[in-house]
Amino acid sequence: MSVSLALGTAERHPIDVALNGQTVTTVAGVTVQQLLRDYPHPGKLPALGAIVNGRLRSLDHALVSNCRVDTVDYRQKDGVSAYRRTVTLILCEAARDIDPSFNPVVGQSLGGGYVFSLRQNGTALAPVPPAILKAIKKRMKEITAEDRPVRVRKVSIEEALEYFRSIDARDKVKLLETTRRAEVQWATVGNYRDLVLGPVATSTGVIRGFDLVPYSSGMILRFPTADYSVRQAVVTETKLYEAYRETRAWNEAVGIANVGQLNEAVITGKISDIIKIAEGFHERKIVAIADEIKAKADRVRLVLVAGPSSSGKTTFTKRLEVQLRVLGFRPVALSMDNYYVNREDTPKNPDGTYDFECLEALDIAHFNDQVHQLIRGEEVQTPIYSFPLGRRVEKTVPYRLTAGDVLITEGIHCLNPKLTVGIEREQTHRIYVSALTQLSIDDHNRIFTADVRLLRRIVRDRLFRNYSAEQTLRQWPSVRTGENKYIFPFQEEADSMFNSALVYEPAVIRTYAERFLLEVPLGSPEMAEAYRMLRFLHLLVPLFAEEVPQNSLLREFIGGSAFRY
């Protein structure tokens, strides 16, 4: 029986749905899941959500007018998000089944999963006792085997507040008290319910793979690869994880660990002190890195600064130069941008576009040769590259290092050993810079670190580079691909790590990014991502930029910096 016949009534008018490229005539009120009974999701993997007119929805979303619907599964980013959100719900339900006083608290992404601490009545169990971890994992498998329904419904703010106050979920209470929504969504799995900030699977049986393993003082909830196999590799302590952990401990110490606490600080005016402390923390870290370089002053001639897009590498480098001058160094900046090959020699992506992210887009041999000459004390004529022309110009700039000089260069490839072939390791100091936010939405909902950088880039591109938010969103997947290929594999080569995230910055970024994201046309392929980012920004109380210091890394993206770029 077709969906239209099964659901049709006199009151329900017919609608046309473009479902995965096929036009289907049905009736208003039908859900995506009901449509899929007669028109299955293509491929072998189960559908996990649907993009309806550019907005990501759950499969139980009711269609009320003519629309376009494209279902997503674990092969797409949106499907992965729905899957991970569902597994997190199952983890929380399993932990509460074992002991109602247990609360898994989400941390950063690591080792193919999310790091969680396990808290009991607010106190972390560190490390998590093996017997407890084993019991939670066993219960999670039972819940997925039972194929429990995951029921999502909208509730009033008053109802949600009453419930979360009754279970002393302060993170969610603070979030709901500081936003001005009329309704929110929560999901129920068995006896457990929680706020959900995006689609989840309609049943636990859809979850085909996960693992729960001990890590450091907590545990990692591992997610499957694209073929649903679960990674088994051992995750070791890393410099990156230490940077995450240091930042999270700092956030908790100043009382801004989640969005609700940030919102409250903005509303009450306490944010002024938080801004000063956050900026002071940055300055202290930069001073510490300068001291590390000073300790090797008799050997270090080259400082390399690397990191992914919109990490704030440029401002960090300028602030580091200031601190090195305080210590008696004379920093000499050498820009990697001037070593790009001519446009006609630039490698191309499979789609024919230029691949500016790859190492081969740079004249590595020329850069390496000139660095060797500079370290030997020779004078070199460094190139000048014109991006509008797509080639080097005839004019060059003379460079020479003298006693007390240290060469500083920053770029996405600066930790790649191929960049410094033949240069002794002890002659370099390598720094990795990234925005590793440890602010969470609440105990069970993360803020993706890449989202902070994406929002920075949207604002900077729109304000200073004549790129619309739509263009930035369209380019972002290729940027992320380049980061995974050319930057992240070398991050552990760093001698120092600098976390450029500022705990207060999402509130400032909202005042810019919200407007720019609203410029994305409704019919754009980038609308789904723009809508996701807007949903996140709407959780934040906006903060004007007046109190952001002129030397802040945030100024690189919003303007008003004391530095010239």
H-type helices in 178-327, by residue range? 239-254, 259-268, 271-294, 313-326
> Is 403 found in the same domain as 337?
yes
CA–CA dist 238, 243 (Å, integer): 9
**DSSP summary character for residue 206:** G
CA–CA dist 249, 438 (Å, integer): 9
CA–CA dist 190, 179 (Å, integer): 28
Q: The domain spanning residue 28 has which CATH number?
A: 3.10.20.30
SS3 state at 97: helix
The predicted structure's pLDDT at residue 11: 59
Residue 137 in domain: yes
How far out from the chain centre does Cα 226 lie? 20
The H helix count followed by the E strand count for the chain is 16, 22
Residue 431 burial (CB count, 10 A): 25
CA–CA dist 337, 314 (Å, integer): 12
**DSSP summary character for residue 509:** H
Cβ atoms 383, 376 nearer than 8 A: no
Structural domain that includes position 473: 240-558
Residue 170 in domain: yes
CA–CA dist 559, 544 (Å, integer): 13
From residue 336, alpha-carbon distances to 325, 361, 371, 418 in Å are 22, 11, 11, 14
CA–CA dist 135, 95 (Å, integer): 9
The predicted structure's pLDDT at residue 237: 60
How far out from the chain centre does Cα 444 lie? 16
For the chain, give the mean pLDDT.
92
> Is 244 found in the same domain as 231?
no
The predicted structure's pLDDT at residue 525: 93
Residue 565 in domain: no
CA–CA dist 262, 259 (Å, integer): 5
Peptide bond into 214 cis (omega under 30): no
- The HSE-up count of residue 29 (CA atoms within 13 Å, CB side) is 12
Q: Is the pTM of this model over 0.85?
A: yes
Q: 459 — phi, psi (to 5°)?
A: -70, -50
The predicted structure's pLDDT at residue 229: 76
Residue 513 burial (CB count, 10 A): 26
From residue 203, alpha-carbon distances to 43, 47, 148 in Å are 19, 11, 5
CA–CA dist 452, 436 (Å, integer): 8
> Is 388 found in the same domain as 296?
yes
Q: The domain spanning residue 222 has which CATH number?
A: 3.30.980.10
> Is 305 found in the same domain as 170?
no
> Is 486 found in the same domain as 395?
yes
> Is 89 found in the same domain as 44?
no
CA–CA dist 302, 163 (Å, integer): 58
Residue 563 in domain: no
Cβ atoms 213, 220 nearer than 8 A: yes
**Sign for the pseudo-dihedral over CA of 87, 82, 533, 222:** positive
Phi-psi category of 453—alpha, beta or left, where left has phi over 0 and alpha has psi -120 to 50?
Answer: alpha
> Any residues with CB less than 8 A from the CB of 159 and at least 6 apart, and which?
none
Residue 492 in domain: yes
Tell me the pLDDT tens digit for each residue of 460-506.
999 999 999 999 999 999 899 889 999 999 999 999 999 999 999 99
Cβ atoms 522, 530 nearer than 8 A: no
CA–CA dist 169, 173 (Å, integer): 6
Amino acid identity at 484: N
Query: Which residue ranges of the chain lie beneath pLDDT 70?
Result: 1-11, 231-237
How many domains are contained in the chain?
Answer: 3
Give 244-251's long-range contacts (Cβ < 8 A, gap of 24+).
244/107, 244/108, 244/110, 244/115, 244/436, 244/438, 244/499, 245/216, 246/499, 247/436, 247/437, 247/438, 247/499, 247/501, 248/107, 248/108, 248/438, 250/281, 251/438, 251/439, 251/503
Give the CA radius of gyration of the chain: 26
> Is 302 found in the same domain as 228?
no
Residue 294 in domain: yes
> Is 226 found in the same domain as 91?
yes
> Is 224 found in the same domain as 251?
no
SS3 state at 560: coil
CA–CA dist 61, 199 (Å, integer): 10
- Measured at the alpha carbon of residue 155, what is the angle toward residues 154 and 161, in degrees to the nearest 5? 140
How far out from the chain centre does Cα 229 lie? 24
The predicted structure's pLDDT at residue 404: 84
> Is 200 found in the same domain as 339?
no
CA–CA dist 369, 422 (Å, integer): 9
From residue 320, alpha-carbon distances to 152, 313, 447 in Å are 49, 10, 28
H-type helices in 43-198, by residue range? 77-98, 130-145, 157-166, 170-177
Residue 155 in domain: yes
Residue finishing a domain among 43, 73, 103: 73
Cβ atoms 27, 7 nearer than 8 A: yes
List the structure tokens of 381. 């004529």
Residue finishing a domain among 218, 236, 254: 236
> Is 95 found in the same domain as 55?
no
Residue finishing a domain among 236, 254, 271: 236
> Is 316 found in the same domain as 461?
yes
Q: The domain spanning residue 453 has which CATH number?
A: 3.40.50.300
Residue 564 in domain: no
Tell me the pLDDT tens digit for each residue of 44-94.
899 999 999 999 999 999 999 999 999 999 999 999 999 999 999 999 999
206-232: b or e for each residue (b if 16 or more CB lie within 10 Å)? Answer: bbebbbbbebbebbbbbbbeeeeeebe
Cβ atoms 438, 248 nearer than 8 A: yes
